[in-house]
Structure 1
């Protein structure tokens, strides 16, 4: 009997053989490359599907690697990358090879394969540093050190078989708080799809007797402030009644997640690597969270991954927009990219305000335009936001996207559905 993986490789080989000697259409190639640079994966996927016959095998493999990863097919993405490097490495620039290796490392991280990712980052630094600028070198050293420090940790494992309902709740700051327990110690952590890694303050890590790893890493925040963090591992962690093993945490100094001016202390954050493993999550208006036994398919395909961020497609009037999805954010916002794309309209109807932005590292004062009655459609539902700020600062996590979706949108309906298996977001 042919296994599914063998069948995929066989059919994939047939497809590539049919295009091995095809000429490359430079116009289509340029369009695809532009969409890739813009992180516009929905348009990229559609254009690629409709024009496979106009690309050489090398260019087809290249684009398929990125599209597969964006839509959650990480094993398939690595098959494309490995085939491309095995057959065409001598024809690729060092910059392209570096980009492919970076993508491959990200695919390993989604499977909690920290050593494999760290080894790739080491290869990039040792063999391709001549095509990196100083910022790239700093960033690659940082992620190499981060994941190298946990390279001996086994992969994260989730133990869940049946329907689970978690008694989460929204606190006074509209953060979605989830009960967690490790080594007999219980606490409530923020449930935050916008956190690239789960996070814990140092005092809480010690209280829960987590395994501390003395590796300092620089962590960016929504206030543009870099914070030095350590690492810790929870051998076992209950999120509600769901048991996870080998959960990696960033460990922050207590003062970095303490906000005395509003009498608020964050003890920890359940981030994307844990949430993603749940496969499908239902966030209810009353604050509770439910995890179905199986993941429901849908005609919708309105989400992709960029890095460790879920990105959702939305529509506002005549605009098709892309938003990072951040259940840890109290309010949604429109990005600096959106401001540049709609500058005349925003400056005409928006009100310029000076506001405080809070995050790891403390508070920052920012200027932003405020728009009122902003219409938005996500999945099968439409609503309006009474107000939404337009930031005048460019943040790395959504520099390519139109904004960030927070709790003010997510609580407009009874239930938010996030399906990481079939790649969609919808409401009930």
Structure 2
């Protein structure tokens, strides 16, 4: 099962994988191999087993940073990344140091520390510009431009009742499987958004939608990857509402018109991963046609990161 990927939002492009480290113990060697494999789920499975036998703090910190970013423990990840970049740049080497700095900058964006993220992004762009192809640093330019554009915008937060919230779901067949649609209200206008864990920052909307609901444009020429969009505008609103959940200070990527894409996919927006992180746990009950937002976060293992669970899934997504 897979959440729809027809529209892909920006992902940070890193410069290679974690460098091979000569393990001082078998656990060091195995953890280094797991990190090099880039398999977050394998890392989550093996790290608790290996942790007490790993002799290199640097490897432990890299593992904890990746797990924190990948599984919605962003504050923990920030603390770990800070230690890594203060203590272990020489041991990590330039490639892994750049990786970790980029991960930290993107993590800061997701925490709503926009100015700090933009500053790190600008430093990385300045360090690499001229030695890397423009497309190789587009992810860093994204961090720089978004961080600068949102520097005066408050961090987002979720307001919710002390009870489970159920929101109706539509399952829409597409040429690539199915999309889940969820009703989203912004400035009094309710539209169906695609529910997509692949939209890794903000919410993705059309220019027509942005005009209709009155989004505030705060920056333009933001480089993104996927769906052949290229450059988008950056926008905000006071809040968005999903059922009885109110998400304050949401961020939107506003895409220019694309006749080919518009003809193949009718949509107003894509609900991004930031809202899902804030919700902490979402149960997808496809059989009943409901998104369920539990008041109490469960202790089970999320299937899709950031607390995304599938209760009864009868469609490939």
Query: Normalised by the shorter chain, which TM-score bucket?
Result: 0.7 to 0.9
1:295 aligns with 2:297: yes
Deviation at 1:198, TM superposition (A): 0.9
Is the contact made by 1:41 and 1:70 (CA closer than 8 Å) also made in structure 2?
A: yes
Aligned length: 289
User: Which deviations, in whole Å up to 9, do the C-alpha atoms of 1:323-363 show, x marking residues without a partner?
Assistant: xx9xxxxxxxxxxxxxxxxxxxxxxxxxxxxxxxxxxxxxx
- Residue 347 of structure 1 corresponds to none
Structure with greater Cα Rg: 1
CA distance 1:29–1:54, change in 2 (3 Å) = closer
Q: Distance in 2 between matches of 1:40 and 1:133?
A: 27
Q: Distance in 2 between matches of 1:250 and 1:237?
A: 14
- Residue 213 of structure 1 corresponds to 218
Is the contact made by 1:217 and 1:228 (CA closer than 8 Å) also made in structure 2?
A: yes
Name stretches of at least 5 consecutive residues in structure 1 with no aligned partner: 1-22, 311-324, 326-377, 384-406, 411-428
CA-atom RMSD in angstroms: 3.2
CA distance 1:200–1:257, change in 2 (3 Å) = farther
Decide which moves more: 130-139 or 87-96.
130-139
1:139 aligns with 2:143: no
Q: Distance in 2 between matches of 1:235 and 1:99?
A: 33
Name stretches of at least 5 consecutive residues in structure 2 with no aligned partner: 1-21
CA distance 1:133–1:45, change in 2 (3 Å) = farther
Within-5 A mapping of 1:21-420 = 25=24, 28-48=27-47, 49-50=49-50, 52-127=52-127, 132=132, 134-161=134-161, 162-171=163-172, 173=174, 174-196=178-200, 197-221=202-226, 225-255=228-258, 259-260=262-263, 265-284=266-285, 285-298=287-300, 300=301, 303-304=304-305, 408-409=315-316
Q: Distance in 2 between matches of 1:68 and 1:95?
A: 21
Q: Distance in 1 between matches of 2:148 and 2:133?
A: 22
Q: Distance in 1 between matches of 2:59 and 2:270?
A: 40
Deviation at 1:145, TM superposition (A): 1.3
Decide which moves more: 194-203 or 34-43.
34-43
Deviation at 1:26, TM superposition (A): 6.5
CA distance 1:280–1:203, change in 2 (3 Å) = same
Q: Distance in 1 between matches of 2:120 and 2:83?
A: 17
Q: Distance in 2 between matches of 1:289 and 1:51?
A: 36
Q: Which has the higher contact order (CA 8 A, sep 6+)?
A: 2
User: Which deviations, in whole Å up to 9, do the C-alpha atoms of 1:108-132 show, x marking residues without a partner?
Assistant: 2332322222122122223465875
CA distance 1:283–1:109, change in 2 (3 Å) = same
CA distance 1:101–1:50, change in 2 (3 Å) = same
Is the contact made by 2:232 and 2:253 (CA closer than 8 Å) also made in structure 1?
A: yes
**Residue 120 of structure 1 aligns to a residue in which SS?**
helix
Is the contact made by 1:257 and 1:265 (CA closer than 8 Å) also made in structure 2?
A: no
Is the contact made by 1:258 and 1:266 (CA closer than 8 Å) also made in structure 2?
A: no
When the two structures are superposed, what TM-score results if normalisation uses the length of structure 1? 0.59
CA distance 1:34–1:257, change in 2 (3 Å) = farther
Deviation at 1:380, TM superposition (A): 10
Q: Distance in 2 between matches of 1:242 and 1:379?
A: 20
CA distance 1:379–1:32, change in 2 (3 Å) = farther
Q: Distance in 1 between matches of 2:245 and 2:117?
A: 27
**Residue 408 of structure 1 aligns to a residue in which SS?**
coil
Q: Distance in 2 between matches of 1:29 and 1:303?
A: 27
Deviation at 1:297, TM superposition (A): 1.0
